[in-house]
Amino acid sequence: MDYMQQALALAGQALGRVSPNPAVGAVLVRDGRLVGEGFTRPPGGPHAEVVALEQAGEAARGATLYVSLEPCCHQGRTPPCTEAIIAAGVAEVHMAILDPDPNVNGRGREELTAAGIAVQVGECEEEARRLNEAYIKHRTNGLPFVIAKFAASLDGRIAAASGDSRWISGPQSLEWAHEQRTTVDAIMVGANTILVDNPQLTARPGGQESERQPLRVVVDSGDRTPANARVLQGPGRALIATSDRSEPSWRQALEAAGAEVLVLPGDGDFLDLRALLKALAERGVLSLLVEGGGILLGSVFDQGLVDKVQVIIAPMIIGAAEAPAAVAGRGADRLAQAWRLRDVTVERLGDDILVTGYPMKRGE
């Protein structure tokens, strides 16, 4: 049995549910037998290592711990995991990657080594980094990990010329989208999406509202979001990002409807998106899903803010010059300036195709 792979699978169960903490999985093995396992609980709850240690009890003494991220060594909402590991008498620790958090960043490994515990680092490193890619960016850059996601026809349209956009993708893609919403901390759309589609932007896998809902963010520099918009209703919180040019009475109406209103610097019709990302990071948002529309997607691409791309391609041709494109904005004057993706994967979602990749820096 690949115990580190099992630890990563456990970590996946915590993904999107434990922010601003990382999603971590841990497995304890003694004499070739699994004696304890666990994954990180929501903030305030025990970390993966402690869950596994409690399950193992006395069997943890002399055992080997496989953990997807370096154990913490500082006092936060919970005591340091390194202390619990040492006290339990664990003999060996395999950690996939070091924790980039400045409070840890190798210190956990040092404490375990100083206590006489054999430590190995690097097993399944690439998978571990990919699993916690949002956490790693948040801790190293101070910004959320931005995922640009949209559904488009084969000819790159997100709606018909009339604006009709339901439904471009099929039922399997819709279910995938709702499952994906359960793994992110926030979803962001532009005001035009609110006016055209009036979405609720909640996570509803299997048609049921998820217990944990992402923060819903609307970028609106021009007093366009109505106070009765569905995005302000239902479970979960909503945040409207706007400029100081917006009418105070409009802001007050949104706040009365239950939304948080964040006033940011603006340049005409455009907000300072980097300032918005910084504000979201300070609220514990590690991962941000940008779902459209084309103007907002164009802005995040133009400003180089996208970390990952997820595109659902539906087998249809819409045509029409007036039909909106998936990504607007300034874009590329020449093909050499276009965003190209690396580490591309392709999978089927019913009749649709899901393409996932990571934008390369221009010139790479």
Q: Can you list the pairs that 53-59 forms with residues at least 24 positions away whose Cβ atoms lie under 8 Å? A: 53/28, 53/84, 53/85, 53/88, 53/90, 55/28, 56/28, 56/30, 56/88, 59/28, 59/30, 59/35
- What is the spatial distance between Cα 28 and Cα 92, in angstroms, rounded to a whole number? 10
Q: Exactly one of 37, 49, 70, 291 is catalytic; which is it? A: 49
Q: Specify whether 110 is catalytic.
A: no
Q: Identify whether 46 is preceded by a cis peptide bond (ω within 30 of 0).
A: no
Helices 48-56 and 3-12 meet at what angle, rounded to 10? 120
- Report d(CA 125, CA 5) in Å as an integer: 11
Give the neighbor-by-neighbor strand order of the sheet with 341-349.
260-264, 238-243, 215-219, 186-190, 287-292, 145-153, 308-314, 352-359, 341-349
The CA distance from 281 to 287, in Å, is: 9
Residue 305 makes CB contacts below 8 A (sequence gap 6+) with 146, 273, 274, 277
Distance CA 225, CA 13 (A): 35
The Cβ of residue 57 has, within 10 Å, a number of other Cβ atoms equal to 11
Cα 227–Cα 287–Cα 83 angle in degrees, nearest 5: 125
> d(Cα 334, Cα 269) in Å, to the nearest integer?
26
Buried b (16+ CB within 10 A) or exposed e, 239-270: bbbbbeebeeebbebbeebebebbebebeeee
The residue written with tokens 């932007």 in the block is 201
Strands of the 118-121 sheet, one edge to the other:
33-39, 25-30, 64-67, 92-95, 118-121
> Is the CB of residue 56 less than 8 Å from the CB of residue 63?
yes
Catalytic site positions? 49
